[in-house]
Amino acid sequence: RSARSNSKHLFSRAKAVFPDGTTRATVEKDPVPVYVQRGEGAYLVDADGNRLLDLNNNFTTLIHGHAFAPVNEAVVDLLRRGTCFANPTEHEIALAELLTARIPAIERIRFVNSGTEAVMFAIKAARAFTGRPGVARIEGAYHGAYDWAEAGQAISPGKHGWETTPIATPTYRGTPTSVAEDVHLLRFNDVEGLVKRLSAMSERIACVLIDPMPSRAGLIHPEPAFLEALSATARKYGILIVADEVLNLRQGYAGASMRYGVKPDLIAAGKIIGGGFPIGAIGGREGVMRVFGAEDTMPLLPQGGTFSANPVSMVAGRAAMEAMTPEAFDRLEGMGERLRRGLKASIVRRDAPFSVTGAASLFRIHPKRVTPVEYRDAHLDATEALLMRKMTRHFLEQGILLPYGAAACLSTAMVDNEIDLILRAFDDFLDAESQS
């Protein structure tokens, strides 16, 4: 029996019912998906009984790893009393109070069920507030599946290389071309391009959608000058700043915008705030959030949703977030720093063609000698993609699930031992590479 025979069998069943054998395009299948039997803290046990250190944590959602006891207890307790109602519950108020108390830019909040929905409603809110249709966003960044958030996410060089000024095209065949007319692409850390683009199109732009460290675009540190120019230019033209913190809220107690000095008008959140259950949230300035309604006015943007603020996600999120004290964030950050420093030291020792980006509990290893400063630098050519594939395969053989071409993350279920495992696996990989 091969190490993955049960996964192979499950994949053959899955191919008969799902279009490509999966229900998410993001499932890694090299050559078959690793089917999961259960999760235990920092580890997964796959369908064949292999124990794997999970550096994906459901795309950075599980900040406490799997089956975190306080979340389980809160959810089990709730299940006995009903899981969803058309009526509001105290649970939604409690999670809202926690988030508004921690994150200064969130004065008012609305809950939805995914990051996609959170970004979509944040864009719609910015449009309703400004009366303008357009969105400016970073080329290569991922913001979920709303058409206007999506255009520009999968851009690659053309026949003659990269366009100096990136132009949005509808991401998928058949998308109305009008979508791309209202999406304005910016290059990350390109101050001049940003100022030029925003000022030229200002009358049509409702918001700049900015993830301060876009993961798919390379998990690259923002230059302070870039974020300053973004804020100043947006303010000058009455363009709202929408921070997509769906992934990066995990960078600190008060989130990523606070960490990097951005003052957003709206924040889209998700992932960790649901404690492992589906969630999204739109938060922001009271004055802007009034588009969703105020006691004395009709909403400009009515937003509902059958499962919005469902009590399961609310109590799970609250249990997970309550455990994320400032000390818990500090411990995660310390482990993250030790890990990134160790990875970089391995690279330097061998003068290997790799680099490392990330912050707090997040990291990404690039098969690139020069540390990327924008999406284009992080974009892989065919040779680099092969090397990346080789690396993730090596990690898997060592019992570590390292996401391919995306942010990897730590969880509070990990201790120094897990950091050592990752460092050793990377060292072994570089050794093998230097001998091949």
Residues that bind ligand PMP (CB under 6 A): 59, 114-116, 119, 142-144, 211, 215, 244, 246-247, 270
Closer CB to ligand PMP, 267 or 425, in the complex: 267
Min. distance of Cβ 114 from ligand PMP in angstroms? Answer: 3
99: which 2 tokens? 């988030």
| Residue 277 or 395 with smaller CB distance to ligand PMP | 277
What span, in angstroms and rounded, lies between the C-alpha atoms of 111 and 20? 32
**Min. distance of Cβ 143 from ligand PMP in angstroms?**
5
Give the nearest distance from C-beta 112 to ligand PMP in angstroms. 9
- Rounded distance, CA 402 to CA 391, Å? 9
Question: What strand order describes the sheet that includes 43-46?
Answer: 36-40, 43-46, 51-54, 400-401
CA angle 221, 225, 230 (to 5 degrees): 95
CB of 212 to ligand PMP, least distance (A): 10
In the complex, the smallest distance separating the C-beta of residue 426 from ligand PMP, rounded to whole angstroms, is 24
Q: Which residue is nearest to ligand PMP (CB)?
A: 115
Least distance (Å) between residue 189 CB and ligand PMP: 17
Nearer Cβ to ligand PMP (116/392): 116
Please say which residue, 10 or 314, places its beta carbon nearer to ligand PMP.
314
Task: Output the DSSP codes for 299-338.
Answer: -SS----TTTT-HHHHHHHHHHHHH--HHHHHHHHHHHHH
Q: Both tokens of residue 146?
A: 């709303």
Query: Checking DSSP bridges between strand 36-40 and strand 43-46, what pairing results, if any?
Result: antiparallel
Assigned token pair, 134? 């357009």
Which of 245, 241, 209 has its CA nearest to residue 103? 245
Minimum CB distance to ligand PMP smaller for 216 or for 290: 216
Nearer to ligand PMP, 251 or 392 (CB): 251
Least distance (Å) from ligand PMP to the CB of residue 50? 26
Comparing CB distances to ligand PMP, the nearer of 136 and 246 is 246
C-alpha span between 401 and 57 (Å, rounded): 9
Minimum CB distance to ligand PMP smaller for 257 or for 346? 257
Least separation in angstroms between CB 242 and ligand PMP: 11
Q: Is the peptide bond before 372 cis (omega within 30 degrees of 0)?
A: no
Which residues partner with 82 through β-bridges? Answer: none
How far is it, in rounded angstroms, from Cα 45 to Cα 275? Answer: 20
